[in-house]
Every structure is written in C-alpha cells, then in structure tokens.
Structure 1
Amino acid sequence: MDPARAAEVARLLVGAVDLHCHSGPAAMPRILGHTQAFQEAEDAGFKALLYKDHYYVGMPHCAVLKDIYPDSKVELFSGVALNNASGGINPHAVDHAIKLGGKIVWMPTFAASNHIQAYAAKSFPKTAKPMLPPIPLTVLDANGELIDEAKQICDLIAEADIILAGGHLHVSELFVLFEEAKKRGVKKMMVNHPTYIIGCSDDDIRSLVGLGAYMEHSICMFVPSRAKQHEPSDLVHLMEVAGADRTILGSDLGLTQAPKPVDGFRMIVSNLLDLQVSEEDIRKITSANAARLLDLAA
C-alpha cells in the first residue's frame, strides 16, 4: 500500500469498532493474543474491540487489560457464545455474562446443528487439542417453535439492552428467533456472516433488515486468507442489499493463515476505496453502526 493510501486508510480507521476479534488464548489455534490485539487496536485509534471466543466469556480479560493499561482509549468488550461449553442455550450463562458486563450473546456457533450438518462431509479447522464432539443445538422445537430457554434468553437480552447475534443458526431459525425477540423487546439484533453457513439470500437479508437486524460481514472472507470466499466487489453488493446503515464489518480474524485483525481492516478499507465506496459509508460500516450497538458515541 503506497504511503498516501496508507495515510487515508489510517485516517478512516480512527474510531473503528471490531465486534468479532478472535484473539487468544483459545482452544482454536490463534496468531495473536488478547493483549496484542488490544495494543494494535489502540495504536490504530480504534474506539472499541470486542473479543469473541466460541467457548468462554472474555469480560474478565477485558477487565484485567484495562487495569494494566488504565490510560488506554480503546474500549474492550466481550460476550457469551451459547455452545456446549456454556451449557448450550442456557439462560444462566446469559445472565452470568450480563452481570459480568457482557455486550453480546451469540447463539450456538460450532455446536449449532446447522454448522454440524454443513461440515458433515468436509473438514473444519480443529482445536489445538481434541475436544468432546459437540451436541447439536437448535433454538427450535420439533414443531418449529422457539424453545422456552431461547425465549427467556431474549427476555434477558431485552432487559439488559445488549446484542442478540445469530451465531451459526440457519436463516430459517433466525426468522423465528428474531421475530420473537423483537416482540419481547430486543432492540439490537445482528446476523453473523450471512453468506457463510447461515444461508441468506439477498431477499432474506432484506427481510431480516426489515425486522431490525444488522448484517455483520466477516472481513476474513473478503481479503486474502484461508477463509476467503468472496471478492471485495461482493461486499459492495451486500452493502447495497442491506444498506450501509444496517451493515457492519467485523474482522473475524485471529485465525491462522490470515491477517491480524487491524491489518484486515486496513486491507478491506483500501479495497472499498478502490471500489469508490464513500468515506461516509466506510465509517458507518467500520465504526458508527457497531458503536451504536455498544452504546458508544459514534
């Protein structure tokens, strides 16, 4: 990246928010730790960084880092992913996460029935040490209705006014979940990587946005990495489908054979500039929309 472009990208990333940072320690192999991810976000002028682990809450790590670096400007957050290690679709895990200051609840990811079915005939990156096989999870009962535990979780999320994220549930589950969540007062809903695992069509994205959801696209899937599935031009299309006001970029980085989170942001912003995306829209999808979900001034 030439110096002029690098300076332009650096300017646009001041105030950025990453809602999907996969630093370690983690059961999955990671290329950087929470401290390094925090320091690199701080150096780049990010407003906030949200740690995501599929198996544990990250709020204690946030608190320790803020104690060690009290003068840092970047805000640190985390939440809980409702996989088997957290007891599955478990209201007690959600309640505990909220009491620790959690800002997001991800519905099942690696333990989602949808995820397990998608990888039944192909390999998925392994944990560093073998773990017990996941018990498949869904938020729906045999009649396609939302289970009581998911309803209680929606109530807890609504009361705390935090983010309900779809995790790796199938789009058909998301419609049932988000419709009920909206009825129960949940105001912050987000679909994680709608084009990966989830199965969203353009019409699905429009309908979910109509329910009030944000689309979070994973940068790792649009820049050179082992997770790449799309070209940056595809992201421009997806922004047009949902609208820039309902689109969020999360790095989903920290995985091996991929850029570090802040570097991923730099790469995709440069790509979007090449594609004539306006600075206003770039700031919306890298900062303002996510900041709003975290109740931070944009």
Structure 2
Amino acid sequence: MNVVDKPVKNWRETDPGMVDRIVKGAVDLHCHSGPSVMPRYFTHYEAMEEASEAGLRAILIKDHYYSATPVTEMLNKHFKHLGVKLLSGVPLNNQTGGLNIYAVEHGIALGARLIWMPTFTSANHIRHHRAAGEDFQFPKARKKMLEPKPLTILDNGGKLLPEVLPILDMIAEHDVVLSSGHLHISEIWPLFEEAKRRGVTRMICNHPTYVIDATTDDIRQLASMGVYLEHSMCMFAENSKFRFYDPPILDGLIKAGTVDKTILGSDLGQVGNPRVVDGFRNVVSLCLDLGYSEDDVRKMVSTNAAELIGLDDEA
C-alpha cells in the first residue's frame, strides 16, 4: 500500500508569529521621514514612534538635501525610552556643497554614521530623470527647485577627482560608512577600489539595479570585495508606487550578492506608499515565501545592517 505524503505546511501555518519576531530588532538604513521638500507621511519623531511600536532596533534617516544628524542626536537624547536608535548621515549633493569635505567633517563631528556620494544631483541620476521625462517615478519636491548642477566623481579621463580623495581619507579615519549614492556603476568601481586602498572598510551600494545600472555580475563582484548591497523594499512591497520588481528578481539579487552581504532597507516614507513597518512585514513575508530561513531573513533586515553601521561596536 502506497503511503500518501501529507502536504507540507508553510511558515504561515506552522509559525504565524515569525514575521513579527523577525521585524523586532530590525535595522532600517533607508528611512525617508520629514521635514523634507519631498512629500513625507511622517516626521522624524513619528518614524521613531512607529519603529518603537514594532520593536525596530534602529533607523537611519535619509534626506537627499540635508543631514538629519542634529535632529537624530536630539531625539535620541530626549526619547531614549522608545528604545530606537536614530542615525543619519551626510548627502553630498548641491545643497551641502557637493563634494564638500567641510560638510563631511562637520557631519561626522555631530555623529553622522554614513556619507552618501551624490544622489539626486548626481549626473547619473539627472540623466535617468531627463531620459524618463514626466514619467520618472522618483519622488519630486513639492515646489519646483533650481535646476541641479550635475555632479560626478570622475574627471574626463575616468580618474577620481582630487576632492574625492580627502573625503575617502576622512571616512576611513572615522570608520563611517561610504555609500555610492546614485552614481553610475562605472563611477562606483573606481570609488570603492580607491576607498579600499585608503582604508575604508564600511561600504554600501544602494538599489544597485535601479538608476545605478549594476548587472548581476557587478553585484557578485561588489559583494566579493566586501560591499553590502542594499535593495529597497519599496521596489518589492505590495501597494508601493515604486513596486518595479517581482519576487523572483529579489531572489536572484540576494543569491548574486549572498545573504551575508545583502541588506533590505525600506526606502519608504513617501506620501501614498506603505508605512515603513508594513513594508518590512511585507518583504520579510516575501523572503520567507521564497524559501529563506528565519536566520537568513534576520541577517538581511537586521544583523548585516547593524554590523555595517557599527551598532554592535557600541555595546
């Protein structure tokens, strides 16, 4: 008599509390709260409250036009009881003087944990923006702003500009994170290679397949040189205005960069998009559905980010 195998139960049946358990202690290195010239659904303090309710360990506030570090330092002091560590960094866009070492020095002195190479005012971002025309789907400022001055980190010969080098030295000296911002992958290679030569040990490439134009092979090579690959939850989460990719794409990206070098950041906070915590729950569920273990998913939403940003160094 043949024995009929029983249906295999999935995690939703066997352990329905797994998602909340993974979200508790998560670290979001890509939170877009306000005040901002972009439409945001919550303030920096409200982001802290939302994270606290779900048990997130830390969130890093990202604004493309200013460093939120003075605000995060103040909120950490006055609302420590919420149990959430707020972090921020310095974006090297036109509004902070571009490739401005003084902005880097000042930000780090205030407690900045990450330096973003140019994002919205990078020449690469602007090229993508203009090529897509009115259909370009990145958030726009509420009011029209001055035309940006396109920023690149390379000279006409493809070498790093002289002003980039002391910035890399300062990042290395203070052991903070270097983000490649919205530079093109062709700019990112010489940036990270020189950064490593100068002693930078903490590096991240944000949404490598969106605007950055990194290939799967690029992602493999970046991971092999110690770079973390951060994929934006807003590009995979249900009901997101920026849901550009299906789950199998995320699976391929994780496998290319490895679980150990993959970070999943929300990249949420925009008006009309899911809440940050809902984005986490949705994408954590997605990863479990793809077959990743609880430990693997925790690495991608918590452990890896904590290690990169140095949270455990404070213990």
Q: Equivalents in 2 of 1:118, 1:5: separation in Å?
A: 43
Q: 1:116-155 to 2 correspondence within 5 Å?
A: 116-121=126-131, 122-123=133-134, 124=136, 125-155=139-169
Kindly indicate whether residue 295 of structure 2 is the aligned counterpart of residue 285 of structure 1: no
Kindly indicate whether residue 264 of structure 2 is the aligned counterpart of residue 249 of structure 1: yes
What's 1:32 paired with? 42
Aligned residues of 1:5 and 1:270 also touching (Cα < 8 A): no
What's 1:77 paired with? 87
Aligned residues of 2:18 and 2:294 also touching (Cα < 8 A): no
Q: Equivalents in 2 of 1:4, 1:263: separation in Å?
A: 22
Kindly indicate whether residue 268 of structure 2 is the aligned counterpart of residue 258 of structure 1: no
Q: 1:10-21 to 2 correspondence within 5 Å?
A: 10-21=20-31
Amino-acid identity (%): 50
Read off the aligned partner of 1:288 and give its amino acid letter: T
Deviation at 1:119, TM superposition (A): 1.4
Q: Which residue of 182, 188, 199 corresponds with 2:213?
A: 199
Q: Which residue of 114, 118, 126 corresponds with 2:124?
A: 114
Aligned residues of 1:223 and 1:231 also touching (Cα < 8 A): no
> Which consecutive unaligned segments of at least 5 residues does structure 2 have?
1-11
Q: Equivalents in 1 of 2:293, 2:15: separation in Å?
A: 15
Q: Equivalents in 1 of 2:237, 2:231: separation in Å?
A: 12
Provide the secondary structure at the position in 1 that maps to 2:230: strand
Q: TM-score, normalised by structure 2?
A: 0.91
Deviation at 1:159, TM superposition (A): 0.5
Provide the secondary structure at the position in 1 that maps to 2:181: coil
- How many equivalent pairs are there? 297
**Cα–Cα, structure 1 residues 4 and 40, in superposed 2: closer, same or farther, change >3 Å?**
farther
Q: Equivalents in 2 of 1:153, 1:199: separation in Å?
A: 24
Provide the secondary structure at the position in 2 that maps to 1:205: helix
Deviation at 1:246, TM superposition (A): 0.3
Read off the aligned partner of 2:60 and give its amino acid letter: L
Q: Equivalents in 2 of 1:72, 1:185: separation in Å?
A: 35
Kindly indicate whether residue 98 of structure 2 is the aligned counterpart of residue 88 of structure 1: yes
Q: Equivalents in 2 of 1:255, 1:165: separation in Å?
A: 21
Deviation at 1:148, TM superposition (A): 1.2
Q: TM-score, normalised by structure 1?
A: 0.96
Runs of 4+ that moved beyond 3 A:
2-6
Q: Equivalents in 2 of 1:105, 1:294: separation in Å?
A: 11
Provide the secondary structure at the position in 2 that maps to 1:148: coil
Deviation at 1:64, TM superposition (A): 2.1
Q: Equivalents in 1 of 2:183, 2:142: separation in Å?
A: 24
Kindly indicate whether residue 240 of structure 2 is the aligned counterpart of residue 240 of structure 1: no
Read off the aligned partner of 1:59 and give its amino acid letter: T
